[in-house]
Structure 1
Amino acid sequence: MNLEQKKAVVADLRARSESAQAAVLTDYRGLTVDEMTALRAQLRDNGVFFQVVKNNLVKRAVEGTDLEPLTEHLKGPTALALAEDPVAAAKVLSEFSKSHADLEIRVGVLNGKALDATEIDSLAQLPSRHELLTQLAVALNAPATKLARSLNEVPARFARSLAAVRDQKGEAA
């Protein structure tokens, strides 16, 4: 890479790191090309940026951002995952590392706080953003649904009472 290309990579990483809520550093040594392609596809499907980048470029890109705690862990071949949804990145990387022992989760950063691999695994156990929004929608919808059922029950009960009176009078006649 020439100097201009390096500057472009640093600028791109800085823009992505400023919008990301979480970042995870992984050691990918030992993964095959097909495994890396599968991992990238899963991460991309979940809205996670994942790239193998030189450590010096990552250091320059995250300097002065919430992701600065990553710099002390940049040693050896490193792949960087940046995500707006921290749970999505943690879930995909954690699940992939369980089935592929060569993928090692080194460290993560969430809102400026460094997380080790066990904390990232704990983060992966949380419900995703989509699941949380669904639960919230159901919780907000429940009172309205109960009110509608209650209001609908009054005329339904009245109709059943009229039918019972009609049936009673029909038997008596």
Structure 2
Amino acid sequence: MKKELKDTIIVELGEKLKQYPHFYLVDLTGLNAEKTSALRAKCFKKEIKLLVVKNTLLHRALEASEINYEPLYDCLKGSTAVMFTNTANVPAKLLKEYTKEGIPALKAAYAEESFFVGADKLEELASLKSKNELIADVVALLQSPAKNVVSALQSGANTIHGVLKTLGERPE
């Protein structure tokens, strides 16, 4: 591979690192062409950009980045594919579908500004909540006290109305 082509790939990887806030490093060794194609199709449906890269080029792109990705350098051995995503837990949920086969295997991930190194972190990554899920949780928590107050006021009004009606009907 010519130096100009390598430099271009490093720049493109650097742009992807800036464009996507989360990425996973996975090992696709053992997947045949059919399964790799199926994985790529699933990634496309879930808005995950899957790239198979050379470790040295990815290492250089990580070094050139503004973020210190040093904890990931030891994972850049063997076959490496990068899954770029805007939602941190989507690739983990996709990889969990393949846990029985063990392929593709998670090497490491950078999600929510944290490093996750090792295949044992897959469950933790899958349990991360996306931004939309967190917003929904906060809205539900904020609505809960308001619903309780409205409910209490409505039931209290019925209770007061019942008491007043009973007092009004009572013979003197």
Structure 1 residue 60 displacement after superposition: 1.9
**Counterpart-to-counterpart distance in 2, 1:35 and 1:17:** 26
Who is 1:25 aligned against?
25
Aligned counterpart, 1:75: 77
Per the alignment, residue 123 of structure 2 pairs with 121
Q: 2:103 and 2:114 mapped to 1: Cα distance? A: 27
Higher helix share: 1
Unaligned runs of 5+ in 2: none
User: Which whole-Å CA distance do the structure 2 matches of 1:76 and 1:116 have between them?
Assistant: 14
Q: 1:161 to 1:2 in 2, by over 3 A?
A: farther
Aligned length: 168
Coordinate RMSD, CA, aligned: 3.0
Could you tell me the TM-score, scaled by structure 1's length? 0.74
TM-superposition CA deviations, 1:26-72 (whole Å, max 9, x none): 11122133322332343344443221112222122111433343333
Alignment check: 8 A CA contact 1:108 1:120 kept: no
Alpha-carbon distance in 1 for matches of 2:108, 2:20: 15
Residue among 116, 130, 142 paired with 2:144 = 142
Distance change (3 Å), C-alpha of 1:112 and 1:130: closer
Structure-2-length-normalised TM-score: 0.74
2:124 & 2:8 partners in 1: Cα distance? 35
Distance 1:164 1:35, change over 3 A: farther
